[in-house]
């Protein structure tokens, strides 16, 4: 394999990991922009998506099971998100730090529930046959580069989800409301926007997207009670880098985190890459404390 | 008169001393400790091990116990945390007055418990493969030493004609030390090391490592990944077109339960090295598997550490009978003098260095989730805690200080 | 002289604490000792979170730094370094000579100084870097969590220098004194008890000073503090540094009690659990932090063995209930209408103020 192909392969890997981060972090970033709360149980939405994919494939086996699992996981996670928003997050939204802690309690309970229901060792989702190939480039400067179908599929799903949410935010009335509440909640409310409902819808949309990410994770690894935990800390870093509730910011931040990790891993091992990523984030916020995209709001204290 | 007083005093003294030394013998029972992680990340592996240890205890009790005493297991949770293991070991020995403890899985739990057992003069039975480099007089090591699991795997790979070897592991003590030993032996045997990589425990992203393996083109991967990471690794290898039938993988941490849970189709054809497989022949193994299934369900599978946990309890009982006492030091001396005993593992015994003499097997995973034994060491292997090639001049000292 | 009823209970608690080695058995004493060590760290969390409004999900890092600073020395005790002796784990990690940064730890006094200096300076540098760009609140909590993850990953991966996943264990002496005997256990307990008492009264004093008032002011309205011409940075960095030092002292004492330090104590989950103790005990009351630590840890010790799955459900539910309905914790129950209670209520209304500004 040529060096150029190896390097390009790593770039591709970075983008592929970034597409997972963006799906995992999008919901966090959107609700953070609106409500200034972070849902520590967001990782468990990934987990729920994975288990829903597992159950869907048990009911609908065959090549199309995965395509059925995607909407099922979206709806299931969105529903759980709505319940969570309604019962806990909304009540505590005046106290962002307490929300964070309470949702960590939720995440403990959900993990243990998964352990009791499905067993600690986890379950498997087998990728359907039509994802069982690789796109291999055999000659030229990129000779030896192979791109697995599953990774291309992930990119595709991430692109479609991002496109759909961009349309939703920029082209629909609901999107208008979301942007309004994001910029100035009291004024938006005074203009008759039901900010309460907007919160609820955006929150469950975000958890639904995390559910989708869970299905995709299941193609790359096991579905275990703690599967969400391994993606949640990078997702938090994406939110910090991305800026308040910005779709573009979150996407760029995911790409930065994904590419940084993939390229640095050429030189150092994975453990050290994690440490360097944190150093990078701390250095980055020295220069852009408000993230890559700054959303102007009228709030004085974030 | 004076003599009478002296006799009374001596009798009193003897009773108190007996009471102090063996309070557990006060009635018709004797307490033993069972200390595994029932919660936390290691519960997944350690709960079945606890089940196997409790099965052995209940079987002993069904036959009337040991030295006429019923065995009462005191179960504690190590919570996957070394400091909790040390704390609970202290409790078992000091508060519950157990005569011995069965338990531990991770090296960190064993390392944390070791000073406790040495200080309180008790005996721990440790049932899991480990990286060697330790021989405490207060621990019976029944799990494989590196020369009983890792090195047989390398010998087998060499015999199969694999020349370029890639080492991949989780980033913690066992993989790092096992690979340190393997590297010395790879160089010694004239083979090639084509790469060495570690991922953090629980790591799920293997994209960079898969790319590196593609570039290195090894003949075989020796895999010391732990737990969930294995699934991610095999899935991402398969997605890149490198399934175990195209690029062989030898794993040290995948046994029957993991294979069953990961879906045998994903791993089918991959190799593993252990001292026990559920598919081993022999009446003792058949009886053990049957008893385990009766107690824990027909779908239950057993693996190497579980059987070692079971065998530990049985060896302890035999050593107690031979010693005629529950005193830990006497039991330890009796255990290393027992000689070969029949067990589900085949014929095993404890060597004078308190590790187990046992046969090494290579298994290949079949589509039904069981391993087919395709190679075995010529006979039981003597345990070597310090690999002479890697750690020259090191050996277990004399076990005088108990 | 008249002793009021308000002074009787604290006096009895102090008396029990001082006499505990004579009243309870060795195992119970070892539990009490290690949980008291943790309560020093919990008082630090009370300082930054309850009084400073800074939520740190990475106190395990400073706990670990203090613990390792002592453990490095304990591993070197009794070794002849000049002779080329090394701690056992270095041998099987393939290290040929003692790493340079280990050498100074051969001195017990250097090691003792490091217990305070390393966590303190790391906490100061880290919090200064983050707070100077006015990053706080939820962002800060998330960054500290990433710090906890990075620190534990680093400890595990640098096995040759840190003992890796196994951590450091098997200590026998400190400066020549046996630290494993029952007598030593009592001495270590008394040292812990005295330090807890000193920290308690020192923090009480500190919070009553002008500095304490400014810290609370920063919590309740950082921008207003700025508008009034004060720089909130020194108060926040100062509080975080003190909390780091307290965590380090707690870590070192815990290592002495437990006889082991490992990355399992410093990662993401243990760091959040530390916040649970304070959330439950009461974030605005010093004795609440201590009581919460003792309560949660003794409960864990009792429940987790018998019903491990129930423990996790219980811990999760306890956390949700405590922060939702009992923001002042158990201590808040005893002091209705106290200044602390009013502070919590003010936090609840802070959001409304903010949007009105």
Cα C85 to Cα B362, C56, C146, C167: the distances in Å are 39, 39, 36, 19
In this structure, are strands B164-170 and B346-350 parallel, antiparallel, or unpaired? unpaired
Say how far apart CA C282 and CA B87 lie, in whole Å: 27
What mean pLDDT value characterizes chain A?
Answer: 88
pLDDT tier at B128 (50, 70, 90 boundaries)? very high
Maximal CA-CA distance, chain B: 93
Whether the per-residue pLDDT at C246 is higher than 60: the answer is: yes
The pLDDT assigned to C75 comes to 93
Interval A173-182: pLDDT, tens? 999 999 898 8
Residues of B numbered 147-176 whose beta carbons fall under 8 angstroms of chain A's beta carbons: which are they?
171
Owning domain of residue C204: 26-267
Say how far apart CA C351 and CA C137 lie, in whole Å: 13
E strands, A119-167, are: 134-136, 146-148
Tell whether the torsion through CA atoms of C212, C213, C216 and C217 is positive or negative.
negative
The pLDDT assigned to B402 comes to 65
What's the half-sphere exposure (Cβ side, CA atoms, 13 Å) at A246? 21
pLDDT tier at B20 (50, 70, 90 boundaries)? very low
The pLDDT assigned to C344 comes to 55
Contacts of C279 in chain A (CB under 8 A): 101
Tokens of residue A135, six digits: 């796109």
Domain count, chain A: 1
Contact B275, B144 (CB under 8 A): yes
Whether the per-residue pLDDT at A295 is higher than 80: the answer is: no
Nearest 5 degrees, angle CA C164-CA C169-CA C174? Answer: 130
Distance of CA A275 to the CA centre of its chain: 21
Contact C269, B2 (CB under 8 A): no
Rounded-to-5 percentages of helix, strand, coil across chain A: 75, 5, 25
Assigned fold of B11-144+282-359 = Rossmann fold (3.40.50)
Write the CATH number for A87. Answer: 1.10.3470
Q: Shortest Cα distance from B104 to chain C (angstroms)?
A: 13
- Please name the residue ranges forming H helices in A36-136: 42-59, 65-84, 90-92, 96-118
Chain A contact present for C133, CB below 8 A? yes
Whether the per-residue pLDDT at C351 is higher than 50: the answer is: no
Residue ranges of domains in chain B: 11-144+282-359, 147-279+364-376
Whether the per-residue pLDDT at B80 is higher than 70: the answer is: yes
Q: Shortest Cα distance from B65 to chain C (angstroms)?
A: 25
Residue B76's closest CA among B60, B68, B87? B87
Higher confidence at residue B262 or residue A171?
A: A171
Chain B contact present for C95, CB below 8 A? no
Distance of CA A48 to the CA centre of its chain: 13
What mean pLDDT value characterizes chain C?
Answer: 89
C171-184 mean pLDDT: 89
B47-60 mean pLDDT: 95
Lowest mean pLDDT among C97-106, C133-142, C197-206, C305-314: C305-314
Chain A contact present for C150, CB below 8 A? yes
C350 inside domain: no
From the CA atom positions of chain C, what is the Rg in Å?
21
C2 inside domain: no
CATH superfamily ID and name for B147-279+364-376: Response regulator (3.40.50.2300)
Cα B362 to Cα B104, B144, B177, B245, C39: the distances in Å are 25, 13, 21, 16, 51
Interval B302-311: pLDDT, tens? 999 999 999 9
Q: Shortest Cα distance from C49 to chain A (angstroms)?
A: 10
Whether the per-residue pLDDT at C345 is higher than 90: the answer is: no
Tokens of residue A180, six digits: 């309004």
The pLDDT assigned to A103 comes to 94
A261 inside domain: yes
Chain C contact present for B131, CB below 8 A? yes
Cα B54 to Cα A114, B28, B48, B50: the distances in Å are 26, 19, 10, 6
Say how far apart CA B108 and CA B172 lie, in whole Å: 10
Domain count, chain C: 1
Higher confidence at residue B321 or residue B267?
A: B321
E strands, chain C, are: 168-169, 173-174, 177-178, 260-261
Q: Do B173 and C165 touch (CB under 8 A)?
A: yes
Contact C284, C46 (CB under 8 A): yes
Query: Considering CB atoms only, which of A102, A108, A111 is closest to C323?
Result: A102
Query: Considering CB atoms only, which of B81, B119, B172 is closest to C164?
Result: B172
Contact B356, B95 (CB under 8 A): no
Closest chain C CA to residue A117: C309
What whole-number percentage of chain B has pLDDT above 70? 92
3-class secondary structure, B392: coil
B178-189 mean pLDDT: 95
pLDDT tier at B2 (50, 70, 90 boundaries)? very low
Tokens of residue C334, six digits: 């005893």
Tokens of residue B334, six digits: 């009796």
Which chains have 3 or more CB–CB distances shorter than 8 Å to chain C?
A, B
The pLDDT assigned to A95 comes to 85
Q: Do B208 and A262 touch (CB under 8 A)?
A: yes
Contact A278, A237 (CB under 8 A): yes
Q: Shortest Cα distance from C17 to chain B (angstroms)?
A: 21
The pLDDT assigned to B9 comes to 43
Contact C252, C115 (CB under 8 A): yes
A9 inside domain: yes
Lowest mean pLDDT among A51-65, A288-302, B49-63, B70-84: A288-302
Lowest mean pLDDT among A63-77, A100-114, B386-400: B386-400
Residue A38's closest CA among B10, C110, C196, C143? C143
Contact B345, B279 (CB under 8 A): no
Element at A137 (helix H, strand E): none
Whether the per-residue pLDDT at A257 is higher than 70: the answer is: yes
Interval B259-279: pLDDT, tens? 887 778 888 899 999 999 999
Residues of C numbered 224-283 whose beta carbons fall under 8 angstroms of chain B's beta carbons: which are they?
254, 258-262, 264-265
Interval A107-117: pLDDT, tens? 999 999 998 89
pLDDT tier at C322 (50, 70, 90 boundaries)? confident
Interval A7-28: pLDDT, tens? 888 899 899 999 999 999 999 9
Torsion from C-alpha of B16, B18, B23, B26, nearest 10 degrees: -100
Tokens of residue A275, six digits: 């440490």
Lowest mean pLDDT among A73-82, B356-365, C164-173: C164-173
B283-289 mean pLDDT: 96
Residue C239's closest CA among C66, C58, C67, C50? C50
Which chains have 3 or more CB–CB distances shorter than 8 Å to chain A?
B, C
Owning domain of residue A130: 3-287
Element at C46 (helix H, strand E): none
Contacts of B94 in chain C (CB under 8 A): 25-27
The pLDDT assigned to A73 comes to 97
Torsion from C-alpha of C148, C152, C153, C156, nearest 10 degrees: 180
Distance of CA C88 to the CA centre of its chain: 29
Beta bridge partners of C177: C174
The pLDDT assigned to B43 comes to 83
What's the half-sphere exposure (Cβ side, CA atoms, 13 Å) at A148? 26
Say how far apart CA C271 and CA C258 lie, in whole Å: 18
Say how far apart CA B140 and CA A196 lie, in whole Å: 63
Mutation site for C-interface testing, chosen from A97, A188, A270 by largest number of C Cβ within 10 Å: A97
Q: Which phi and psi (to 5°) does residue B102 adopt?
A: -105, 130
Mutation site for C-interface testing, chosen from A89, A225, A236, A265 by largest number of C Cβ within 10 Å: A236
Exposed (0-12), middle (13-18) or buried (19+): which is A49, by Cβ within 10 Å? buried
B171-181 mean pLDDT: 92
**Residue whose structure tokens are 């592929």:** A16
Higher confidence at residue A195 or residue B22?
A: A195
In this structure, are strands B70-77 and B29-36 parallel, antiparallel, or unpaired? parallel
Residues of B numbered 252-271 whose beta carbons fall under 8 angstroms of chain A's beta carbons: which are they?
257-258, 261-263, 265-266
Residue B251's closest CA among B190, B313, B304, B192? B304
Contact C25, C189 (CB under 8 A): no
Residue A213's closest CA among A81, A86, A47? A47
Tokens of residue C247, six digits: 């965590």
Whether the per-residue pLDDT at B286 is higher than 90: the answer is: yes
Residue C94's closest CA among B392, B191, B168? B392
The pLDDT assigned to B26 comes to 54
A89 inside domain: yes
The DSSP letter of residue B386 is S
Exposed (0-12), middle (13-18) or buried (19+): which is A163, by Cβ within 10 Å? exposed
Interval A195-216: pLDDT, tens? 999 999 999 999 999 999 999 9
pLDDT tier at B21 (50, 70, 90 boundaries)? very low
pTM recorded for the entire structure? 0.90
Whether the per-residue pLDDT at B292 is higher than 90: the answer is: yes
pLDDT tier at A299 (50, 70, 90 boundaries)? low
Whether the per-residue pLDDT at B16 is higher than 70: the answer is: no
Residue C36's closest CA among C332, C295, C304? C295
Those residues with Cβ within 8 angstroms of residue A220's Cβ, 6 or more apart along the chain or in another chain: A150, A154, B204, B205, B232, B235, B236, B239
Q: Shortest Cα distance from A33 to chain C (angstroms)?
A: 12
Interval C84-140: pLDDT, tens? 888 988 988 888 889 999 999 999 999 999 999 999 999 999 999 999 988 888 889
Higher confidence at residue C283 or residue A6?
A: C283
The pLDDT assigned to C2 comes to 57
Give the burial string for B8-18 (b: 16+ CB within 10 Å, else e).
Answer: eeeeeeeeeee
pLDDT tier at B19 (50, 70, 90 boundaries)? very low
pLDDT tier at B14 (50, 70, 90 boundaries)? very low
pLDDT tier at B241 (50, 70, 90 boundaries)? confident
Whether the per-residue pLDDT at A1 is higher than 80: the answer is: no
């Amino acid at each position: 394999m040529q060096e150029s192909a190896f390097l390009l392969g790593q770039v591709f890997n970075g983008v592929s990991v970034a597409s997972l981060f963006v799906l995992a972090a999008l919901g966090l970033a959107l609700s953070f922009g609106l409500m200034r709360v972070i849902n520590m149980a967001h990782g468990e939405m990934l987990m729920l998506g994975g288990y829903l994919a597992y159950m869907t494939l048990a009911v609908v086996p065959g090549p199309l099971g995965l395509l059925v699992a995607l909407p099922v996981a979206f709806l299931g996670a969105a529903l759980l998100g709505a319940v969570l928003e309604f019962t806990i997050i909304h009540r505590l939204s005046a106290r962002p730090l307490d929300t964070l802690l309470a949702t960590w309690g939720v995440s403990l309970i959900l993990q243990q529930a998964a352990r009791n229901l499905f067993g600690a060792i986890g379950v498997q989702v087998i990728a359907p046959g039509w994802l069982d190939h690789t796109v291999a480039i055999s000659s030229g400067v990129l000779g030896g580069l192979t791109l697995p179908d599953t990774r291309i599929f992930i990119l595709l799903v991430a692109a479609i989800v991002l496109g759909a949410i961009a349309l939703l935010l920029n082209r629909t009335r609901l999107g208008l409301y979301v942007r309004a509440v994001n910029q100035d909640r009291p004024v938006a409310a005074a203009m008759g926007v039901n900010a309460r409902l907007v919160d609820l819808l955006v929150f469950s949309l975000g958890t639904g997207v995390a559910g989708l990410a869970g299905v995709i994770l299941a193609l790359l690894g096991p579905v275990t009670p703690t599967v969400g935990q391994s993606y949640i800390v990078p997702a938090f870093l994406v939110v910090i880098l991305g800026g308040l509730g910005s779709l573009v910011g979150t996407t760029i931040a995911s790409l930065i985190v994904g590419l940084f990790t993939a390229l640095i891993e050429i030189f150092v091992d994975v453990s050290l890459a994690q440490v360097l990523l944190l150093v990078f984030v701390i250095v980055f916020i020295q220069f852009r404390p408000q993230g890559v995209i700054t959303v102007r709001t009228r709030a004085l204290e974030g | 008169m004076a003599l009478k007083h002296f006799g009374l005093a001596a009798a009193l003294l003897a009773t108190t001393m007996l009471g102090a030394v063996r309070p557990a013998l006060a009635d018709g029972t004797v307490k033993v400790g069972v200390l595994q992680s029932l919660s936390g990340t290691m519960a997944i592996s350690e709960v079945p091990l606890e089940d196997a240890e409790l099965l052995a205890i209940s079987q002993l009790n069904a036959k009337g116990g040991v030295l006429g005493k019923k065995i009462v297991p005191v179960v504690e949770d190590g919570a996957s945390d070394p400091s909790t293991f040390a704390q609970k070991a202290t409790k078992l020995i000091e508060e519950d007055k157990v005569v011995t403890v069965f338990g531990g899985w991770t090296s960190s739990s064993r390392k944390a418990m070791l000073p406790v057992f040495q200080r309180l003069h008790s005996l721990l039975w440790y049932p899991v493969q480990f990286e060697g480099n330790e021989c405490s007089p207060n621990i019976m090591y029944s799990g494989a030493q590196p020369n009983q699991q890792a090195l047989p795997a390398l010998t087998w790979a060499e015999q199969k004609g694999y020349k370029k070897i890639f080492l991949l592991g989780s980033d913690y003590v066992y993989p790092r030390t096992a690979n340190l030993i393997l590297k010395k032996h790879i160089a010694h045997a004239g083979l090639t090391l084509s790469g060495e990589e570690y991922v953090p425990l629980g790591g799920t992203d293997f994209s960079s490592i898969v790319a590196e393996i593609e570039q290195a083109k090894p003949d075989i991967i020796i895999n010391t990944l732990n737990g969930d990471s294995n699934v991610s690794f095999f899935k991402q290898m398969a997605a890149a077109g490198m399934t175990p039938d195209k690029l062989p993988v030898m794993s040290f941490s995948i046994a029957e339960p993991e294979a069953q849970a990961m879906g045998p189709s994903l791993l089918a054809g991959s190799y593993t090295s252990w001292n026990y497989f559920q598919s081993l022949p022999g009446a003792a193994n058949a009886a053990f598997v049957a008893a385990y299934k009766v107690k824990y369900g027909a779908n239950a599978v057993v693996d190497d550490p579980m059987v070692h946990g079971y065998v530990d309890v049985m060896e302890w009982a035999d050593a107690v009978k031979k010693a005629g006492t529950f005193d830990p030091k006497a039991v330890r001396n009796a255990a290393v003098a027992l000689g070969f005993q029949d067990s589900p593992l085949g014929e095993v015994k404890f060597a004078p260095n308190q590790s187990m003499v046992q046969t090494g097997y290579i298994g290949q995973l079949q589509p039904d989730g069981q391993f087919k034994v395709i190679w075995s060491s010529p006979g039981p292997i003597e345990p070597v805690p310090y690999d002479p090639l890697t750690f020259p001049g090191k050996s277990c000292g004399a076990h005088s200080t108990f | 002289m008249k002793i009021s009823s308000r002074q009787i209970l604290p006096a009895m608690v102090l008396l029990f604490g001082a006499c505990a080695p004579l009243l309870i058995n060795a195992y119970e004493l070892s539990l009490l000792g290690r949980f008291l060590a943790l309560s020093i760290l919990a008082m630090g969390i009370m300082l930054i979170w309850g009084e400073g409004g800074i939520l740190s999900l990475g106190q395990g890092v400073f706990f670990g730094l203090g613990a390792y600073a002592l453990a490095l020395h304990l591993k070197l005790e009794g070794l002849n370094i000049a002779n080329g002796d090394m701690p056992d784990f270095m041998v099987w990690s393939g290290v040929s000579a003692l790493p340079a940064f280990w050498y100074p730890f051969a001195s017990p006094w250097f090691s003792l100084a490091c217990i305070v200096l390393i966590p303190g300076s790391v906490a100061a540098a880290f919090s200064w870097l983050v707070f100077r760009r006015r990053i706080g609140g939820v962002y800060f909590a998330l960054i500290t969590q990433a710090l906890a993850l990075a620190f534990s990953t680093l400890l595990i991966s640098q096995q040759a220098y840190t003992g890796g996943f196994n951590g450091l264990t098997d200590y026998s002496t400190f400066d020549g004194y046996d630290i494993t005997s029952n007598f030593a256990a009592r001495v270590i307990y008394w040292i812990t008890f005295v330090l807890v008492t000193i920290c308690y009264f020192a923090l009480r004093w500190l919070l009553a000073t002008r500095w304490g008032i400014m810290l609370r002011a920063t919590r309740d309205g950082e921008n207003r503090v700025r508008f009034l011409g004060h720089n909130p940075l020194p108060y926040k960095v100062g509080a975080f540094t003190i909390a780091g030092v307290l965590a380090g002292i707690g870590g070192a004492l815990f290592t002495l009690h437990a006889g082991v330090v490992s990355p399992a104590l410093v990662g993401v989950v243990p760091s959040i659990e530390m916040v649970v103790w304070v959330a439950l005990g009461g974030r605005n009351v010093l004795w609440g932090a201590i009581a919460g630590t003792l309560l949660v840890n003794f409960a864990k010790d009792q429940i987790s063995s018998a019903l491990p799955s129930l423990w996790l459900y219980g811990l999760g539910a306890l956390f949700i209930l405590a922060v939702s309905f009992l923001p002042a914790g158990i201590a808040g129950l005893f002091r209705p209408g106290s200044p602390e209670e009013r502070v919590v209520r003010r936090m609840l209304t802070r959001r409304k103020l903010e949007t009105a500004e």
